[in-house]
Structures are given as C-alpha cells and as structure tokens.
Structure 1
Amino acid sequence: MHKRTGRDYLKLAVFLLFVAGAAYLLLFTPTGAMFRTTEGRKALIANLDTLVQSSGVLGPVVFVLIYAVGVLFLPATPFTIAGAVIFGKFYGMLYNLAADLIGASISFFLGRYFLHGVARGFLETRMPWLERKAAEDGFSVIFYLRIFWFPFIVLNYAAGATRILFRDYFLGSALGLLPAVLLSTYFVGAMKEVLATYRRPADLLTFDLLFPVLLLVISFFLPTLIKRLRKDRGLLPPGGQP
C-alpha cells in the first residue's frame, strides 16, 4: 500500500492554491465575467476573433493554444462556441476537438503529478474497486463518463489521480467527447449561417439546425441505451455500473 509523504501533501497544497486562484479569477475578475455573463461571452468571442484574424495563418494554432490552456481552469463551453463562430461548423469541429483533447491531456498530467500521491493511498484503502477498475478498464470508465456529460475539468484532474493509463484516458476522451463537440459546434456554426440571412421564423426550420438538435436529444439517452445493451449481453451485473 502506498504511504503518503510530506512531498505528496505539499503537491496537494500547491494544487489547492491553483484551484483557489482559478475560483478567484472566475468569480471576482473582469476575465471571469466573460464566462459568467452573456455580454461577457460575446466580448470573449469578439476578442478571440480579433486575435485570430490578426495572427494570419497561425490563427488556428493561437486559438487552439488559448482554448487548451483556458480549459485547465475555465469552462469549455464559451471556447467551443467561439470556435464555431470564428471558424464555422466544419473547421470549428476540428479545432475545438483538438483543443479539448490537448487541454484534457495537460490536466491529466497535472492531476497525475499533484494529486496521485495523496489519492493513491485513499483509493487503495477506501475504494480499492475503483482503483482496480481504473487500472484494468480505464478506456470504458472514461468513455462512459464523457458520454454521461460528467464535468469536463473535474474528470480531467480526477483521472490523473487514479491508475488509469494515459493511452486509455486519451482514447476514451477522444471518442467520448466527439459527439458533444461535433454536435454543439455544428449547431452553433449552422445557427450563425442561418442568422446571417434570417428573414422569418420559418428560416430556422432547416436541416442544418434541426438535425444536430435531434442528435443532441438522442445523445442524452445514449448512455442509458449502451448500459442496457451491455447488461443484456451479460457485461454488467443487474444494477451494475458501466
């Protein structure tokens, strides 16, 4: 069993200071207001658009880097919307997914470095089944939690604190995030195109808008469907978890 050391607790203290700083930034600064209010989010998108346009051919790289660093401690949704507005529904999908995965990977390694030492001892003594599940079936754990819309930032750091292999974490994240990122980006990009030529309410009844909405609704029921299929095939015990 892993024995916690003073170094482990020091790392935890540093991480908690980081969390406190992120909370202060989000709740009490003008930057945080960009994520809390509608007007703030509009300003964020406008500022990102200006920066991307002024960066020329490096604009997409600049956007992905800002997005990836931002989601270490800030909500991903405003960045996702910005990607769709700035780059459109197709390129926006690509850049948003890339940024999500880069940010999720960085968070994972930060969680592994700062939290694993303390968390390991706790999991081994209090929740050995979770630690074992993470080590043996990390891909499924991450995939299902992503599909279940588990909080993005929380899962990124929590996964790093367990024994999940990075390979399993990355692949599970890539496949689990794909539906939500593609649907939300496509919908926002399509909405931007429709509003540019909007004349009457009937203009909203287009395939580009209705199709992603339908898929988004279906995605909310997808976890339950997958769980039922696994249970029917004997992959889950009655009342078991994915």
Structure 2
Amino acid sequence: MKKNKQKILKIALGILFLAIILVVIYKIYSLNLGSEEIKNYVQGFGKIGPLVYIIMFSLVPLTLFPDSVLAIAGGLIFGLFKGYIYTTIGALIGGTISFYISRYWGREVVKKLTKEKLDKVEEMINNRGFIIIFILRLIPLLPYDVISYGAGLTAVKYKDFLLATLFGTIPGILVFTNLGAQTVNIGSNSFYISVALLILLFIISIFFKNKFISKELKNDIK
C-alpha cells in the first residue's frame, strides 16, 4: 500500500512539475518579450521571484528565447551581483538540460528542437573538448543552446562541459546583467560605460569568431 501511495505521489509531483514548466514556457511566449515585461512578471511572484527567474532561464533551451534579453532583465530586476548569480545558475541548468537531451535522446530530437546543423560543432568539440566549449562560450554571437546541444552529442565529459560553460560565460553574463542593472540610470556615466562594454564584448566576439571558428562552421550555425 505504501509503495502505491509513493508511486501516486511521485506521479502527482511529476505532473505538477510538468504543469509549472508548461505554464512558464507559455508565459515566456505570451509576454511581449521585453525586459520590462519580464521584470513585471517575475516581480509579481514576490519572494519566489528569483526562483521563477532561474526556472525561466533554465527552460530557455526548450523555447529558443534569446538568452540576452533574459540576462538583461535579470540585471534590471535584481541588480548586477544577484542578477549575475541567478543568471549563471539558470544558464548552467539550461545548458545541462540541453546537454542531456541530446546525449540521451539523440540527434533527431535535437534537430527538431534547434533546426540547426550540428555536425561541425560536434566535430570541433570532439577534437578539443573543454577548450573549444570555453572559446565558443566566450562568443555571444553564437547560439548558446546550439553549443549545449552539440556538446551532448559528443564524448566530452559533463564535468568539462559544465566548467567550460561556467568560466566561458562570465564575460557575457556580466556585460548583459550590468546593462540591465544600469538601465535605471539612463544618461549616467555608468550607463554609457555599460553600453561601451557591450560594444567591446561584440568586437571581441567577432575577433574570436574569425580567429577560431572556420567559415564552414559559421555558415552552419548562423
């Protein structure tokens, strides 16, 4: 009898968790997709707002919603420090979801989710693992989720994937959350500095993209 109750409880919790995921995904799509709208939505949850934000960021791989918009919203809602922490947690969870979806469900499922060609990403990561994932994470011009899905199709260890993601996303997350945090000070020196840092990030990204990513790869994952 106890086992049956435990099974029913697990099923109920699973259904509840799935329902929460579906509601959040629906809200991501139904919002006007702007930082202010996301801010109002998250703040509407009060004290559990940070958890809702992390869940939203974690589910980005299933929606292909722009990571940068959510990261800017994170800075706007929570400020630079907390925004960076919550965004990083969400990014790592989201990357992990993508990684294991492709690792356990395979290429066909990933193709349907991303509509991208992953052969070159897969080949590069297979050859050089950690360092390639790290370099790719430094380039916000490349789709975050495609890199995660591509890594899951390779033999790279999850630990290497996670560490490369953690360290490689530091500049991008810092710049985007800082931009969000400074939008409350539009016209101030700190705001203009945040915009300058964003421009610098994209210039460096273009350099890394041209330096380390082949033309063939660029064509595949535009």
Equivalent residues in 2 for 1:14-25 (5 A)?
none
Amino acid across the alignment from 1:63: Y
Alpha-carbon distance change, 50 to 223 in structure 1, aligned in 2, over 3 angstroms:
closer
Q: 1:223 to 1:88 in 2, by over 3 A?
A: closer
| 2:160 equivalent among 144, 165, 168 | 168
2: CA distance, partners of 1:98 / 1:154: 18
**Partner residue, 1:66:** 56
The Cα of 1:74 is off from its aligned counterpart by 3.6
Correspondence 1:93 to 2:84: yes
What is the CA-CA distance between 1:110 and the residue it aligns to?
0.8
Gaps of 5+ in 1: 1-21, 120-126, 196-203
Shift of 1:118: 9.1
Specify the alignment match of 1:179 in structure 2.
Answer: 171
After TM superposition, give the deviation of residue 33 of structure 1 in Å.
3.7
Identity, in percent, stands at 26
Q: Call closer, same or farther: CA 1:172–1:99 in 2, change over 3 Å.
A: same
Which residues in structure 2 correspond to 1:1-242 (within 5 Å)? 31-34=28-31, 36=33, 38=34, 42-51=36-45, 53-55=46-48, 59-75=49-65, 76-115=67-106, 133-148=124-139, 149-192=141-184, 194=185, 204-206=187-189, 208-223=190-205
Shift of 1:225: 5.1
Relative to structure 1, the CA distance from residue 134 to residue 153 in structure 2 (aligned partners, 3 Å threshold; closer, same or farther) is closer
The separation in 1 between residues aligned to 2:47 and 2:204, in whole angstroms, is: 41
TM-fit CA distance, 1:78: 3.4
Superposition deviation, residue 54 in structure 1: 4.5
By how many angstroms is 1:185 displaced? 0.5
In the alignment, structure 2 segments of 5+ residues that lack a partner are: 1-21, 111-117, 218-222
**TM-fit CA distance, 1:31:** 4.9
The normalised TM-score by structure 2 is 0.67
Q: Any idea what the Cα deviations from partners look like across 1:65-114, whole Å, max 9, x if unmatched?
A: 33212443241233223311221122111111111111111111111111
After TM superposition, give the deviation of residue 117 of structure 1 in Å.
8.6
Normalising by structure 1, what TM-score?
A: 0.62
How many corresponding residue pairs?
186
> What CA distance in whole angstroms lies between the structure 2 residues aligned with 1:31 and 1:108?
21
Equivalent residue number for residue 201 of structure 1: none
Please tell me the root mean square deviation across aligned C-alpha atoms, in Å: 3.5
- Structure ID, larger Rg: 1
What is the deviation of 1:35? 5.2
Tell me how far apart the structure 2 counterparts of residues 132 and 226 of structure 1 sit (CA, whole Å): 18
